[in-house]
């Protein structure tokens, strides 16, 4: 895997804004107060802990503008201008996944709109980290979209090269190929999955994370094919069918939701 880190030192990142959809909002990683946590929040903690020596931890500021269900154009319209206005040292920009999952969408056209947003962000922000798609080869239903996701991922990497952006390469992260990295709905990461992503993002940004994001998972006993079939049927009933229904009705899980952390505030 290519080294996607740039010469970014912890002293250059005193503020961070996360932009995106449910992945960045943190769905699948519930916090003790009922809100979601997620990899971006976990990355913010790592950045704050490693903030420049001699500066109080409270000087590090963090905003999370991500809202579940958002399509790329919504993110560009609602979140990117706010991120430009906040002008943090770092923006993580992960978007386009919900567009790719919709039938009939063109990854080439989505990538063109993604690049325009990257151009806006890099003109105002010190560092813009972008995310590739996940490899869905082991995911029921979504495995059929693997080629489409791969095409979009190739575009994201090319855009990152053009704008000198570090890349959070989710496609090559082996740890998230394990079923335990995903929540029950198989669309969002589990708490451990979010943790692995945060550790990898820290690596990309030049930090020394407290653990290896690709550390092998503990061995599991082999499941019978009948158990796997029962799990797949239960998943389809509980999660896949409602998800398809929302798409057909033009509904989103993020309708009427606001960002959980809209302002750059000290991280407590």
pLDDT tens string for the chain (268 positions)?
A: 445 545 454 457 999 999 999 999 999 999 988 899 999 999 999 999 877 545 655 689 999 999 999 999 999 999 999 999 999 999 999 999 999 988 899 999 999 999 999 999 999 998 999 999 999 888 777 888 999 999 999 999 999 999 999 999 999 999 999 989 998 887 899 999 999 999 999 999 999 999 999 999 988 777 677 766 777 667 667 666 676 666 666 666 667 789 999 999 998 7
pLDDT at position 2 is 43
Q: Give the angle 120-59-8 at the CA atoms, nearest 5°.
A: 50
Q: Are strands 15-20 and 90-94 parallel, antiparallel or unpaired?
A: parallel
This prediction has a pTM of 0.88
Contacts for 240-246: CB closer than 8 Å, 24+ residues apart: 240/141, 243/185, 243/187
Nearest to 50 by CA among 212, 201, 261, 265: 201
Lookup: tokens for 2? 């290519």
Note the CATH number of domain 10-214+224-266: 3.40.50.1110
Domain ranges of the chain: 10-214+224-266
pLDDT at position 185 is 84
pLDDT at position 268 is 73
């Amino acid at each position: 895997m290519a080294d996607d880190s740039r010469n970014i030192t912890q002293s250059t990142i005193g503020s961070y804004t996360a932009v995106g959809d449910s992945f960045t909002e943190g769905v699948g990683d519930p916090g003790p107060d009922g809100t979601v946590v997620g990899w971006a929040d976990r990355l913010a903690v790592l950045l704050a802990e490693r903030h420049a020596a001699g500066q109080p931890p409270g000087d590090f500021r963090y905003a999370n503008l991500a809202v579940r269900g958002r399509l790329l154009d919504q993110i560009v319209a609602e979140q990117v201008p706010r991120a430009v206005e906040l002008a943090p040292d770092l923006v993580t920009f992960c978007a386009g996944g919900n567009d790719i999952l919709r039938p009939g969408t063109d990854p080439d056209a989505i990538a063109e709109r993604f690049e325009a947003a990257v151009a806006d962000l890099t003109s105002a922000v010190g560092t813009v980290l972008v995310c590739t798609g996940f490899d869905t080869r082991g995911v029921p239903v979504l495995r059929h979209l693997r080629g489409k996701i791969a095409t979009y991922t190739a575009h994201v990497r090319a855009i990152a090269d053009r704008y000198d952006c570090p890349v959070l390469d989710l496609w090559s992260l082996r740890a998230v190929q394990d079923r335990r990295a995903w929540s029950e709905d198989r669309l969002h990461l589990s708490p451990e999955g979010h943790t692995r992503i945060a550790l990898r993002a820290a690596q990309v940004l030049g930090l020394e994370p407290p653990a290896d994001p690709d550390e092998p998972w503990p061995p599991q006993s082999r499941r019978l094919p009948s158990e796997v079939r029962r799990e797949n049927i239960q998943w389809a009933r509980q999660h896949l069918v409602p998800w398809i229904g929302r798409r057909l009705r033009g509904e989103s899980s993020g309708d009427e939701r606001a960002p959980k952390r809209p302002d750059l505030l000290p991280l407590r």
